Structure formats: structure tokens, C-alpha cells
Chain A
């Protein structure tokens, strides 16, 4: 394992200019967990990039898209593409928002002569944060240290739409002092599902109950995941049950930024 405290990066920083990365903050991170945004900024900067945060961003449009409201989704998507397409890369600290930008924007504009090409070019530049670090910037070690036993939940969109599975585990494996304790079925849905969890709260509860049972059984003292929605769902459920497990976005640990209170607090 690389024990050095400086990040190792595969992109040479002294080339003509550093890659210009636009951070798509995501609405949940913006509103509920800004520290994830700052962790993302640190990780991207440490990997040798220049970070920009376009002001004209709100949400990727997923709530409208998954509710069948295509017209509003398109308007929001056009707004995002316009604000972000001028950068070298667009990075989102979320698997589901990342998949929305990368996979679903091109679907949304397929066959539209004015937007199809732009959406495809935009999609090419989009990445979820952890896969951007490992697959694009070739980061192998973020130089973080944390003495903790953690378990990792694979959020569905990141896993199945973007193929993010090994990347976070590799980077976590390089965190000094951290032990990964895999739970049973880490790749099974937590029951969040965006608006699903409020449309069908009882079914969502049944699904998250199985998930939190697996988290408990892993005996880890911290749960990490790549999507804030899933984390808020699982944290809200376990905290209601009085659990002392802490919940954090994987980026916070990789950036060594764990001095903020965990999601939903640390107490029982």
C-alpha cells in the first residue's frame, strides 16, 4: 500500500494548464451536507485540477425526470448543459446525479438536432467523483488517514448505471488505519429511490429495515456511501432506532475531512 501522504496522480500537473473541472454540487449536498462539496473540491484539487462551481446550478432534474415530467426535465437539463459544457470535466459527488448527467441527458435529447450533439459531448465529460479520481485522474491514494471500521453501501445508480464498485473500495483500502467490513448484500437497494420513499413510505421502510439489519450485522462503526439520498435514508432509519453507527459520504473520509458531525449527528 502506498503510505505516502501526498496524493499520487496519473495526470501530470505541470502540463500546459491544469484540467478545469466544474463541480456539479447536487442539490442535496448544497442544502444538507456542504462539507461533502468541500471534500470533493479538496480531492479534485489534490488530484491536480482547478475547481469551478458555476453559480447557475440547482438540481440535475431527476425528480422531474423520474416523475414523468419530461418538459421541465428538459428545461433544467438545457440550463445545466449551458452552464457546464465549457469545462474540461464535470464532476458530481453522487452516483445518481452523475448517472442523470452522463446517461440520461443523452437519452432525453436523442433525436433532437439542436441538442443531441451538445448533450452527448456534455455526457462525455461527466463523471461521478470517485470514478473521476480513480479512472480519469488515476489517483491511487488520497493520503487520508482514519482509524475506523467502516462498511460501504453501493448506491444503485452509481453501481448499475456507472459501474462504480471497485473504485471506492480501492481508495478506501489506501486510507491509513481504515478497515473495510463488507456487509451482506452491499449492492441491494436501501429503499430510498428519490420520491419513492415518500410516495410509498411503508414499502421503503421495509426495504431500509433489511439494509440497516445488514449494516448492524457487519459490526462496522461507520457506514459510507456515494449518494447523500441513500445516506440520509439509512441514517434516518438507524438513528430512529437509536444506533450509534456514523454515516458519511465516502468523499469526506477520502479527503480526511471527518471533523464535521456525521450525517444525522453522532449521538443515539
Chain B
């Protein structure tokens, strides 16, 4: 997708006045927040599992080269093929080659953020191969020519009436008079339409939640079953996964699985957790005849050893965006990047450079709720601050903000001068506030007073009053002594 993160502010403003979007965004709170809390509260070991999951990923990242080699060996032993891709372009080309060799005109896709990251759909379509998204949410946004606005709920920005409109527009072979007013009817229709498609594509592409070094398995976690149909019914299963999906053992997946669904949707376990190891075996009645893994770097190895390394622990549960007041206000599309919300605000600058994405780590109140719910204990606010530091160092911060900050810092570093300035300024400002003790408008405070009044200072500063009090006390003490 076209990166438009440099227009975050304008996009956010549009989102804030989009009544349809604002109505849909209410579903984020209803659908995720209470459910996650209940699921986490119901598992006494939840916090300890978070610590352990963090440690597992830290260990894996510190030994990533060795685990990748071990993983590749096991995939190969199981009859699968590992393709290494340094960047998006390499990965797209590898997938296209596989599709061409399979002689397919269409490919099915399970839900995968990594294929969004590498813009796979547009590339395949431009090369004459039609990609079909099979996850309900992904299917809907594909019909609309949109990108996911949430990493696990791609169509969370839509209401059912919009989906009905899209289905009527595209599914013209079905009776016009049919009733699509309820979500259940929409789901049934998508199920019917996609059922046929599962048998038509020779290639099925999925992402992976984990890659397991011990066994050479890839794991997908879904609720709909579309990912399983995609990979089981195709002749060729292609897994596209970035290198940080690695975990050492089956046991390690069990640890993280106990956090994943609870953090994402509040389920104890998603409906379908599938471990795939190689292609169809001798005598197998079903399953793909070829199994490929495209192991993608695309900037991850450059994050290792930096202050952004911890971001590589992310398991893409979406809890950070569900709980983010900014995301809840503007939705995912305003971010103008593949990954929205707090995890996107950290990851997008790593993948696309801070020059065009600097607004994302700035668009946070640092309320810390993302870090508080992150199952992998990723310090998201801290890393957003690190991006602000990079931005400041590179002089990318807007000039007015920079000079304002410098002026303020000049005084903040000179207490005596500061005292002098505020001891005149503050009482004067207080007097201006009048009997209402607040301002409706004030020069240079438009950012504040556009939506709210500015409380007026009480009068003289604390320090002025305190010094007077101390002087009086000293006088009394001296008199007593005399």
C-alpha cells in the first residue's frame, strides 16, 4: 500500500468527523477490551506466562541465526522448501515463481499481515494471477479495494450496512431480493461464495504465527477455518513469514499460545491452531503436494541489537491498538501504514524510515495502556520516545516545536532567570483570567483553546508565596531569639 503516514494529522481529522467510522470504532471496546480482561483474570498464571514468553523470545532473538539454521534443516527433512528473501521484492518474486510453476490463475490467501507488508496482492494481480482473500474481514476489504485497519480485525472500521452494499455490488449472481440485513446472512453468503473458490486455486498462501526450530513446523492460529481450507485444499502451500516468528520448541508455542488468544479476542484458545510440517506424505489422502516457506527479513535483522529489538517479540495480537485511546479515536487507516496503533508506531519507522513516518510515534499520549496489556511486555512508549529522539537528532521535528522547546529549555535550565520571568508573567496572566478563572481564547494557546478553556493561574507563583512565608517565619524566629 501507498505509505501516507506523513499525512497522519489530516487523515486523523477526517476520521474524527466520519460518523460511520466513529460508530464502527465503538465495536473495538465492546469486542475486545472487557473480553481480554476477563480471560486474563481467569488465568492466575497469566502474568508469569507474560514474563516467560518475553524470555523465550529474548532467548530466541539472541540465538536467531542458529535457530533459523536448525529450522531450515527440519523443514527440508520433512520435504519442504525454504526460500530466503532479504526484502519485499525478493519475497514477491519467489511467490510469483512458485505460482507460475504451479500453473495457477488464482491463489487463495489466509489472513496474513506479512503479505500486506510486501504488497503481494497487487503484485500478483499485476502479473496475471488473481489473489482471493478468504478470511471474512479480508474478503470484505478486498472487495472494497481497501487495506486492513486492524491487524486481527481487518474490517473493524466498517458497519454491516456497508458490507451489505459491497456484497450486493459484487455478488450479482445472487437474487436481488435476498435479505442481508443481519451479519449472519452476510457470513453465510461469504461462506457459500468462497467455498467454490477453495477448490479452484492450486496455490494457497498463509502467514505463520510461529515457526518451530525443533520440528520445522509452521503454525497458524485462526477462528474461521479459512486458513486451513486454503492450505489443505491447494496443491501448493506457501507460508510467508518473517524471521522473528521463530521459536525453539513445541513447548515454547504452548507458552505463547496461552497469551495470544486471550490478549487478542479474550478466548482461552482460538478455534483452530494448526501445526503444518512439510507436504502430503506417502498414503496421505489430502494436504498440499508442495510446501514452501518464504523466510523474509525485510528490515528485521537491522532492528537486532538496536533499541528497537524488543519490537521483534511482537506476536501481532492487536491488544495494543484495542486499548489505545488514539487508535480508538481515529481507527487504523489514519496511520497510513500497514501496521496501525502503538505497535505500528514503533514498527513502521523501522521498516519505512523515520523521515516519512515521524508523526506516528508522536501521536501518542504515552498513557502506557499498550505496554500494560502487551502479552510480550514490549515497552512501546519507550520505543516511541526513542523514535522521537531520532527525529530530534535528525532535525525532523517541526521548526516551531523545536524553537519553542529550545526557548523553554533555555529558561528551565536557568532557575533564577526562570523565577524572574514567571514572577511577572504569571500574576499578570492570573489577573487576565478574571472572576471566571479561565480563558476561552488566548494568543499562542490556540491548540489548547480550540476545544477547551484554559484554567487561569491562581495568582502569584508557589515559589513567590513560599519565599514570603519563609521570610516571615525567619522574622518571627529572629524576634523570638531577640
Q: What residues make up the interface of A, taking CB atoms closer than 8 Å to B?
A: 25, 27, 29-35, 37-38, 53, 55-59, 61, 63-70, 72, 75-76, 79, 107, 156-157, 160-161, 188-189, 191-208, 210, 231-233, 235-237, 239-240, 260-261, 263-265, 267
Residues of A within 8 Å of B362, CB to CB, are: 196, 199
Residues of A within 8 Å of B371, CB to CB, are: 160
B161, CB-defined interface residue at 8 Å: no
Tell me which of A31, A160, A193, A201 contacts B450 (CB under 8 A).
A201
Q: What residues make up the interface of B, taking CB atoms closer than 8 Å to A?
A: 9, 12-13, 16, 325-326, 328-330, 362-369, 371-372, 382, 385, 387-393, 397, 401, 405-406, 408-409, 411-413, 415, 418-419, 422, 426, 435-438, 440, 447-463, 465-467
User: Is A29 a contact of B455 with CB atoms below 8 Å?
Assistant: no
Residues of B within 8 Å of A199, CB to CB, are: 362-363, 401, 447
User: Is B447 a contact of A156 with CB atoms below 8 Å?
Assistant: no
In this complex, what residue of B is CB-closest to A35? Answer: B458
- 10 nearest A-B pairs in the assembled complex, by CB-CB distance: A193-B365, A198-B447, A68-B388, A236-B452, A68-B392, A265-B437, A189-B367, A34-B462, A205-B451, A264-B455
User: Is A160 a contact of B368 with CB atoms below 8 Å?
Assistant: yes
Residues of B within 8 Å of A160, CB to CB, are: 367-369, 371-372
18 contacts between A and B (CB under 8 A): A30-B462, A34-B462, A37-B462, A58-B413, A66-B366, A67-B405, A68-B387, A69-B389, A75-B409, A75-B413, A193-B364, A197-B447, A198-B447, A202-B450, A203-B363, A205-B452, A207-B365, A239-B438
Residues of B within 8 Å of A189, CB to CB, are: 325, 365, 367, 369
Residues of B within 8 Å of A72, CB to CB, are: 405-406, 409, 412-413
User: Is A156 a contact of B455 with CB atoms below 8 Å?
Assistant: no
Residue with the highest number of chain A CB atoms closer than 10 Å, among B392, B393, B455, B465:
B455
User: Is A32 a contact of B458 with CB atoms below 8 Å?
Assistant: yes
User: Is A31 a contact of B438 with CB atoms below 8 Å?
Assistant: no
User: Is A203 a contact of B329 with CB atoms below 8 Å?
Assistant: yes
User: Is B16 a contact of A202 with CB atoms below 8 Å?
Assistant: yes
User: Is A69 a contact of B461 with CB atoms below 8 Å?
Assistant: no
User: Is B426 a contact of A31 with CB atoms below 8 Å?
Assistant: yes
Q: A72-B409, A240-B451 are in contact. List 4 more A-B contacts (CB 8 A).
A: A69-B409, A194-B366, A199-B363, A240-B453
Known: A37-B466, A58-B411, A68-B389. A32 touches B368 (CB 8 A): no
Residues of A within 8 Å of B460, CB to CB, are: 34
Residues of B within 8 Å of A25, CB to CB, are: 462-463
Residues of B within 8 Å of A57, CB to CB, are: 415
Tell me which of B365, B408, B418, B459 contacts A156 (CB under 8 A).
B365
Residues of A within 8 Å of B405, CB to CB, are: 63-64, 67, 69, 72
Residues of A within 8 Å of B330, CB to CB, are: 203, 206
Known: A37-B462, A69-B392. A201 touches B325 (CB 8 A): no
Instruction: Report whether over half of chain B's contact residues are helix, strand or loop; otherwise say mixed.
Output: helix
CB of B362, distance to nearest CB on chain A (Å): 6
User: Is A53 a contact of B455 with CB atoms below 8 Å?
Assistant: no
The complex places the Cα of A236 from the Cα of B391 at a distance, in Å, of 31
CB of B30, distance to nearest CB on chain A (Å): 13
In this complex, what residue of A is CB-closest to B430? Answer: A32
User: Is B463 a contact of A200 with CB atoms below 8 Å?
Assistant: no
The complex places the Cα of A47 from the Cα of B130 at a distance, in Å, of 73
Known: A58-B412, A202-B451. A68 touches B385 (CB 8 A): yes
Residue with the highest number of chain A CB atoms closer than 10 Å, among B325, B390, B419:
B325
User: Is A201 a contact of B369 with CB atoms below 8 Å?
Assistant: no
User: Is B438 a contact of A233 with CB atoms below 8 Å?
Assistant: no
User: Is A68 a contact of B454 with CB atoms below 8 Å?
Assistant: no
In this complex, what residue of B is CB-closest to A247? Answer: B455
User: Is A53 a contact of B364 with CB atoms below 8 Å?
Assistant: no
User: Is A236 a contact of B365 with CB atoms below 8 Å?
Assistant: no
Residues of A within 8 Å of B437, CB to CB, are: 261, 263-265
Tell me which of B436, B440, B448 contacts A267 (CB under 8 A).
B436
In this complex, what residue of A is CB-closest to B464? Answer: A34
Tell me which of B387, B401, B463 contacts A55 (CB under 8 A).
B463
Residues of B within 8 Å of A37, CB to CB, are: 462, 466
Tell me which of A67, A70, A233 contacts B452 (CB under 8 A).
A233
In this complex, what residue of A is CB-closest to B467? Answer: A55
Tell me which of A31, A66, A194 contacts B457 (CB under 8 A).
A31
Residues of B within 8 Å of A207, CB to CB, are: 325-326, 328-329, 365
Residues of A within 8 Å of B448, CB to CB, are: 197-198, 201, 236
User: Is A31 a contact of B461 with CB atoms below 8 Å?
Assistant: yes
The complex places the Cα of A19 from the Cα of B465 at a distance, in Å, of 23
User: Is B385 a contact of A65 with CB atoms below 8 Å?
Assistant: yes
Known: A58-B415, A236-B438, A236-B455. A202 touches B325 (CB 8 A): no
Residues of A within 8 Å of B465, CB to CB, are: 34, 38
Residues of A within 8 Å of B9, CB to CB, are: 200
The complex places the Cα of A174 from the Cα of B63 at a distance, in Å, of 54
CB of B203, distance to nearest CB on chain A (Å): 42
In this complex, what residue of A is CB-closest to B329? Answer: A206
Residues of B within 8 Å of A34, CB to CB, are: 458-462, 465
User: Is B450 a contact of A32 with CB atoms below 8 Å?
Assistant: no
The complex places the Cα of A201 from the Cα of B451 at a distance, in Å, of 7
User: Is A61 a contact of B462 with CB atoms below 8 Å?
Assistant: no
Known: A201-B448, A205-B452, A263-B455. A68 touches B393 (CB 8 A): yes
User: Is B463 a contact of A30 with CB atoms below 8 Å?
Assistant: yes
In this complex, what residue of A is CB-closest to B452? Answer: A236
CB of B196, distance to nearest CB on chain A (Å): 43
The complex places the Cα of A263 from the Cα of B437 at a distance, in Å, of 8
Residues of A within 8 Å of B372, CB to CB, are: 160
The complex places the Cα of A221 from the Cα of B227 at a distance, in Å, of 53
Tell me which of A27, A76, A198, A206 contacts B413 (CB under 8 A).
A76
User: Is A232 a contact of B415 with CB atoms below 8 Å?
Assistant: no
CB of A159, distance to nearest CB on chain B (Å): 8
CB of A219, distance to nearest CB on chain B (Å): 22
The complex places the Cα of A74 from the Cα of B331 at a distance, in Å, of 36
Residue with the highest number of chain A CB atoms closer than 10 Å, among B406, B438, B448, B462:
B462
The complex places the Cα of A86 from the Cα of B177 at a distance, in Å, of 81
In this complex, what residue of A is CB-closest to B445? Answer: A198
User: Is A191 a contact of B388 with CB atoms below 8 Å?
Assistant: no
The complex places the Cα of A263 from the Cα of B466 at a distance, in Å, of 20
The complex places the Cα of A161 from the Cα of B369 at a distance, in Å, of 10
In this complex, what residue of A is CB-closest to B415? Answer: A56
User: Is A232 a contact of B462 with CB atoms below 8 Å?
Assistant: no
Residues of A within 8 Å of B368, CB to CB, are: 156-157, 160-161
Residues of A within 8 Å of B453, CB to CB, are: 235-237, 239-240, 264
Residues of A within 8 Å of B369, CB to CB, are: 156, 160, 188-189
Residues of A within 8 Å of B326, CB to CB, are: 200, 203, 207
Tell me which of A202, A263, A265 contacts B12 (CB under 8 A).
A202
